[in-house]
Chain A
Amino acid sequence: MNRRRWLLGAMLAVAIAFGLGQEAISVHYRTPESHLLDFLTGLSYLIAGAVCLDRRPGNRIGGLMFFAGVAWFLPPYSILEVAPLTVLAQYANVLPVCLLAHIVLAYPSGHLSTRLERVFVATMYTTMAGLNTASLLVFDPQSWGCAECSAMPAPWPDEQAWGAVRTTSDIVSAVLAFGFVVAVVMRYRRSTVIARRDLLPLWVGSSMVGLLVFLESLTPDAPTGFPYFLFQIRVVLMMVVPLVFLYGLLAQRTARTSMGGLVVELDEVPVGGDLDALLSRALGDPNARLIVADSTEQVDIRAWVADAGLVAAESQTLTVVERDGRELAAIIHERSIEPDLVAGVATASALAIENDYLQRELRNQLEEVRASRARIVAAADEERRRVERDLHDGAQQRLLTLALALRRARMQAADGPEPDPKLELTLIQAGDELKLAIDELRELARGIHPAILTDSGLGTAVVALADRTSIPVDVQSRLDRRPPASVEAAAYFVVSEALANIVKHAEADKASIRLSCPNGVLEVCVIDNGRGGATMADGSGLHGLLDRVAAINGTLDIVSEAGCGTTVRAHLPVTEGDAR
């Protein structure tokens, strides 16, 4: 607990002791009133005032309310016949009602918002102070024969003048009470829907107090009967009004407590989603809107919102959502909503918006990495195709030309006048070696990138692959058009690797390959009837293809229960428009 709270607690304790003291005096002197009701009414103002001072130190409402509680307890002290107390008690007779009117008209900001209200409150304090001063000057009941009355020495005791002051006071009270009710009605009429919803109980309660003061002014003072009944009802209502204030404060605390929930909800809704509904709920304002800056760059959001004409109603205002000095968004809301609540919502919104910016940035970076990886794989594929073409057009052609030259040399040697069997044998051996070299080069080129895949497509290339496999392989291709080159290459190498594994490890006597492209996804399925038990991580070579498949946003999985064969399945997305 900080020093301010200690001080506040001490003030409250002293004020309560003060209240208990006045009740003790009332009981001692047998004042005809409900002591408990009287004490509770004063206490409700003290507590509501203290809570308000604690929660909103800068708001005048708390001080006014605490003062009203103290003033409420003051009048009975006049019985002690201590001159200063007697004077203060005289002023304190009507002060709580005046303070209540001031509080109601100034709530919740603490300031009187219109000139009329300011004039009304000033008139109320001035006339009441003037009438009480006049009363102090002429009211001296003992001087006109009331022996049991308290001593109220007045400079100019005059019973007739005092009667005139009382009559004037009743008239002024009636006029002011009526004026207060009119002021409340005017306030209601110019308020927003939210303000009406939040403040209606306060306005109704205080207006009833005003009407009761009006009625009391028209009836003679009496400790019993109808006048006393009116007084008791007014006291009860005056006790209720601070409770309504307290309820308002606690409701704001509830709203703040729900801020955590708002943060969670904001996190679940992407910016651009239905954030307005969340804000409306959190602020209790059905017309609340969150305007988020399009760019992460620094923007003047006030000017931007003003240019767009987004603050539509006179009753609305704009709160900028900031984070680290950067304006992220603006909340458009009713002016009457508590600034603390709006600030809380703004902070939660800032967190959510910044989080969304970060997520978007991360997504963009991830997308860029994916695209980059796909480009790298595509470039590698293109390079493989180029190398295969170069091998075919270059080294392979030269070796072929050499082979043909050797064949020609053999023919010439055989056709010569003196055949040389040794030379012929050497040429034959050289030709055989050359043929082996050509075959190996063909195999190498095929492994780098099969020409048939480039020339004839995946289905044909896979059939060629199956034909070269040492076990029967059934191929079923249901491709009505060619997928993109990168997808074809990934699918081909998955099939190639799977078939190589089958031959090397699976002990299968047959296999099948299924190619289909339902719903824009190329499905490649290689199934064998071997011993199963294969995994992706056992150095099968399929693991190395995971990156290639992932680079085009595909998936590769293997199902291989021991004794039940193996199924290798790849799903490769084919972007609409990329298919050939």
Chain B
Amino acid sequence: MRTVLIVDDHDGFRSWAREVLRREGFRVVGTAEDGRRAIDAVHQLHPDVVLLDVQLPDMSGFDVADEVGDDAIVVLTSSRSAADYGHRVASSSATAFIAKDELTGARLYAEAFGDRG
């Protein structure tokens, strides 16, 4: 079972995502509410995937993704659409982007692992 770390500053989204992803085949190893805690959690928990909100209180999701680097697969998420970020998504260290209202376990799995699952 793939492990996931959920990073978002909204409690409601974190609990909802935890429930959805657990139901749809992921093991949620932890959550974080800001970028610094997220990076620490990646180094401690070694998740397979980090579901990372773009807008965090202390730093942007793009910067967190760059710091995580190859330590985990990063999938960005936001209440905005990918179009609102232009080529910043493509040029970042993140593997993919999923709008929050489109998040499902299957979609995350597909974006993160593709056919490798």
A418 CA to B62 CA, complexed, in Å: 44
With a cutoff of 8 Å between Cβ atoms, the chain B residues found around residue A446 in the complex are 83-84
A8 CA to B12 CA, complexed, in Å: 109
Given A408-B16, A411-B20, A411-B23: A460 in contact with B79 (beta carbons within 8 A): no
Main secondary structure on chain B at its contact with chain A?
helix
B84 touches A442 (CB 8 A): yes
B85 touches A464 (CB 8 A): yes
B79 touches A456 (CB 8 A): no
A400 touches B79 (CB 8 A): yes
B81 touches A442 (CB 8 A): yes
Quick one: which of B32-90 are within 8 Å of A by CB?
60, 79-81, 83-88
Please indicate which of the listed interface residues B80, B84, B86, B87 has the most CB atoms of chain A within 10 Å of its own CB. Answer: B86
A396 CA to B101 CA, complexed, in Å: 11
Closest to A399 in B: B101
With a cutoff of 8 Å between Cβ atoms, the chain B residues found around residue A404 in the complex are 12-13, 16, 100-101
Q: Is A495 an interface residue (CB 8 A)?
A: no
Closest to A407 in B: B20
Closest to B104 in A: A407
A463 touches B80 (CB 8 A): no
A43 CA to B80 CA, complexed, in Å: 105
A470 CA to B85 CA, complexed, in Å: 18
Q: Is A397 an interface residue (CB 8 A)?
A: yes
Closest to A464 in B: B86
A464 CA to B87 CA, complexed, in Å: 7
Q: Is A75 an interface residue (CB 8 A)?
A: no
A438 CA to B86 CA, complexed, in Å: 19
B87 touches A463 (CB 8 A): yes
A401 CA to B81 CA, complexed, in Å: 16
B83 touches A467 (CB 8 A): yes
A442 CA to B83 CA, complexed, in Å: 10
Q: How far is the CB of A500 from chain B (nearest CB, A)?
A: 15
B79 touches A392 (CB 8 A): yes
A403 touches B80 (CB 8 A): no
With a cutoff of 8 Å between Cβ atoms, the chain B residues found around residue A341 in the complex are none
Number of interface residues of A (CB under 8 A): 28
With a cutoff of 8 Å between Cβ atoms, the chain B residues found around residue A407 in the complex are 16, 20
Partner of A456, one of B19, B23, B85, B100: B85
Q: How far is the CB of B113 from chain A (nearest CB, A)?
A: 22
With a cutoff of 8 Å between Cβ atoms, the chain A residues found around residue B60 in the complex are 455
B86 touches A460 (CB 8 A): yes
Please indicate which of the listed interface residues A404, A451, A452 has the most CB atoms of chain B within 10 Å of its own CB. Answer: A404
Partner of B86, one of A411, A434, A439, A461: A461
A435 CA to B79 CA, complexed, in Å: 11
Partner of A468, one of B19, B20, B23, B83: B83
A451 touches B16 (CB 8 A): no
B84 touches A451 (CB 8 A): yes
Quick one: which of A439-453 are within 8 Å of B by CB?
439, 442, 446, 450-452
Q: How far is the CB of B83 from chain A (nearest CB, A)?
A: 6
Quick one: which of A452-475 are within 8 Å of B by CB?
452, 455-456, 460-461, 463-465, 467-468
B88 touches A456 (CB 8 A): yes
Q: How far is the CB of B76 from chain A (nearest CB, A)?
A: 14
With a cutoff of 8 Å between Cβ atoms, the chain B residues found around residue A465 in the complex are 86
With a cutoff of 8 Å between Cβ atoms, the chain A residues found around residue B86 in the complex are 452, 456, 460-461, 463-465, 467
Given A396-B79, A404-B100, A411-B23: A464 in contact with B84 (beta carbons within 8 A): yes
Q: How far is the CB of A439 from chain B (nearest CB, A)?
A: 8
B13 touches A460 (CB 8 A): no
Please indicate which of the listed interface residues B19, B80, B84 has the most CB atoms of chain A within 10 Å of its own CB. Answer: B84
Partner of B12, one of A401, A434, A456: A401
Closest to A467 in B: B86
Please indicate which of the listed interface residues B23, B88, B101 has the most CB atoms of chain A within 10 Å of its own CB. Answer: B101
Please indicate which of the listed interface residues B12, B19, B81, B83 has the most CB atoms of chain A within 10 Å of its own CB. Answer: B83
Partner of A400, one of B87, B88, B101: B101
Give 1 or 0 for each of B1-42: 1 = CB within 8 Å of chain A CB: 000000000101100100110010000000000000000000
Q: How far is the CB of A31 from chain B (nearest CB, A)?
A: 115
With a cutoff of 8 Å between Cβ atoms, the chain A residues found around residue B23 in the complex are 411
Given A400-B100, A464-B86: A408 in contact with B80 (beta carbons within 8 A): no
A392 CA to B80 CA, complexed, in Å: 8
Give 1 or 0 for each of A384-423: 1 = CB within 8 Å of chain B CB: 0000000010001100110110011001000000000000
A464 CA to B16 CA, complexed, in Å: 30
A467 touches B87 (CB 8 A): yes
With a cutoff of 8 Å between Cβ atoms, the chain A residues found around residue B20 in the complex are 407-408, 411
Q: How far is the CB of B41 from chain A (nearest CB, A)?
A: 23
B101 touches A408 (CB 8 A): no
A110 CA to B86 CA, complexed, in Å: 90
Closest to A456 in B: B88
A435 CA to B100 CA, complexed, in Å: 11
Q: How far is the CB of A526 from chain B (nearest CB, A)?
A: 17
Given A404-B16, A404-B100, A411-B23: A460 in contact with B88 (beta carbons within 8 A): yes
Closest to B89 in A: A464
With a cutoff of 8 Å between Cβ atoms, the chain B residues found around residue A392 in the complex are 79-80
A468 CA to B16 CA, complexed, in Å: 31
With a cutoff of 8 Å between Cβ atoms, the chain A residues found around residue B84 in the complex are 442, 446, 450-452, 464
A392 CA to B79 CA, complexed, in Å: 8
Closest to B81 in A: A442
With a cutoff of 8 Å between Cβ atoms, the chain B residues found around residue A435 in the complex are 101
Can you add 19 more A-B contacts, CB < 8 Å, to A400-B100, A404-B12, A467-B87?
A397-B79, A400-B79, A401-B13, A403-B101, A407-B16, A408-B16, A411-B20, A439-B81, A442-B81, A451-B84, A452-B85, A452-B86, A455-B60, A455-B85, A460-B88, A461-B86, A463-B87, A464-B83, A464-B84
9 contacts between A and B (CB under 8 A): A392-B80, A401-B12, A401-B13, A407-B16, A411-B19, A411-B23, A446-B83, A455-B60, A467-B83
Which B positions have Cβ atoms within 8 angstroms of A?
10, 12-13, 16, 19-20, 23, 60, 79-81, 83-88, 100-101
**The 7 residue pairs across chains A and B that have the minimum distance between CB atoms:** A464-B86, A403-B101, A404-B16, A463-B86, A400-B79, A460-B86, A463-B87
